Structure 1
């Protein structure tokens, strides 16, 4: 075996698909390998004895370089290579985190009359985030009470709760089950999951930005995220369409969803 290494973050998480490049003292590349799902890098090709430079790169991380000495066996034991996130922000530690509704928001905006937007939010929601040792296998479970929609207008909210839209009598809950993440840049991820809305379940990705982790005044640890996505009403069998003039709909068919989420480490929220 020519090379063996393990690529991790500072808090011990595996960095999937990190690329390890080995060059000799002249700068010529002699080996290139990619980490597997556990952050392990192996190569069966033996190397000539001598010193080499090992460079490790991964999307969203600062590159790391070190020197490895290959013995007469042709093997280089690089050990664990620790990569720091670009920007210096580390992800929250693995485990269960509970959504804090008092410091979170679930909002949506739809075009109105083709010239402006109507903004709304859901007031009753909760959820749990399970961050895995392998961050790509993290999970999200969230539930929103559909009848808690609030657009600042009681008549409009009543219409949105009716069978024309959310049909809250038949479908009282909106759920999202996130089943994996992929990196999309520095402190940005794509969450892959299934949204159940109005009796229809569809795969929906969220564009997620991690905002940081820190202690709170109640002795807990919090992490904050912002997430966005776009939904099309017809994908969820909400086809109400009032045309007011020359083909212009009163309410647009596209919803822009924006989430501002704080989670608290642990199975439940602390008393405040």
Structure 2
């Protein structure tokens, strides 16, 4: 594990010079530090740095760079893999050898633009249910997490000539919720939560695609659940396009995630605590692992 974080210090009179490390090391420890810069050479704040021990393959240090693009840590002697990553940029990997009582010179790590995957051809793409999953993770009050999924859904993507003008629509059968516990699932379908008899569907219709660099997009749109509509953003990673499947269909894939707040959709506790049923906490992590097949150049019909 990491023994601590270090601070950088510039020698007096060395304005603009590369910063060095001035540290007080714990007995037997060594130090590693890096300065992460963006493609223009400017210090990059918030880049993620992960340090993994090569002998055990365990992550021993993880954090983000400070406003000066710096990440520093003290480590036990050994050999480590250091991975640096940021949205829209290609990850950088470096191997470092840490020796006892030695602070390595500060390493400059440039992050380069990520190779942009070829976007899918314009036209209609329909979700392939056997290769698509709509999952969620919710905090079980006072205990562990509840993992679940919806097993019945339909969806389509209209890919426009300009990807930013594309649209996606998803309709989920609310009664298909499954967490592996029949009592809990029946309660989630009841009037205390999804109330599937009154609100049988959960719908998402996008309003705009926003490019974030590399393979990252944000899909803004309207989510309607339990009779309430809210604007949400799906943080989406485009995974590429391939020819595959039984008939060698043209397919594209993406992974989208969002955090939902249960009370935004008027999903409240009602009487379940009185009945001793503590189901989920206030937030739910939603994940769409989508594979879609090319069908026609026509626009898919949004859910009604």
TM-score range, shorter chain: 0.5 to 0.7
Is the 1:124–1:148 contact (alpha carbons within 8 Å) kept by the matching residues of 2? yes
How many Å separate the matches in 2 of 1:99 and 1:250?
30
Q: Find the counterpart in structure 2 of residue 230 from structure 1.
A: 259
- Counting matched residue pairs gives 184
Deviations 1:190-235 (A, max 9, x none): 0010000000011111000001110013131000100000101100
Q: Find the counterpart in structure 2 of residue 204 from structure 1.
A: 232
Partner-residue secondary structure (3-state), 1:251: coil
Residue among 288, 292, 301 paired with 1:259: 288
Q: Find the counterpart in structure 1 of residue 198 from structure 2.
A: 170
- 1:234-245 matches, within 5 Å, as 234-240=263-269
Is the 1:60–1:183 contact (alpha carbons within 8 Å) kept by the matching residues of 2? no
Residue among 137, 156, 163 paired with 2:165: 137
Residue among 96, 101, 108 paired with 2:124: 96
Deviation at 1:61, TM superposition (A): 9.2
Is the 1:110–1:119 contact (alpha carbons within 8 Å) kept by the matching residues of 2? yes
How many Å separate the matches in 2 of 1:251 and 1:206?
21
How many Å separate the matches in 1 of 2:124 and 2:225?
25
RMSD: 2.2
Structure 1 residues 254 and 61: alpha-carbon distance in aligned structure 2, compared to 1, 3 A threshold:
closer
1:158 aligns with 2:186: yes
Q: Find the counterpart in structure 2 of residue 118 from structure 1.
A: 146
Is the 2:116–2:215 contact (alpha carbons within 8 Å) kept by the matching residues of 1? no
How many Å separate the matches in 2 of 1:61 and 1:240?
43
Runs of 4+ displaced beyond 4 Å: 59-62, 241-244
Deviation at 1:141, TM superposition (A): 0.9
Is the 1:114–1:250 contact (alpha carbons within 8 Å) kept by the matching residues of 2? no
Structure 1 residues 145 and 189: alpha-carbon distance in aligned structure 2, compared to 1, 3 A threshold:
same
Partner-residue secondary structure (3-state), 1:252: coil
How many Å separate the matches in 1 of 2:232 and 2:153?
18
Structure 1 residues 250 and 99: alpha-carbon distance in aligned structure 2, compared to 1, 3 A threshold:
closer
Deviation at 1:250, TM superposition (A): 5.2
Partner-residue secondary structure (3-state), 1:133: coil
Higher strand share: 1
How many Å separate the matches in 1 of 2:122 and 2:268?
41
How many Å separate the matches in 2 of 1:108 and 1:60?
25
Q: Find the counterpart in structure 2 of residue 214 from structure 1.
A: 242
Q: Find the counterpart in structure 2 of residue 109 from structure 1.
A: 137
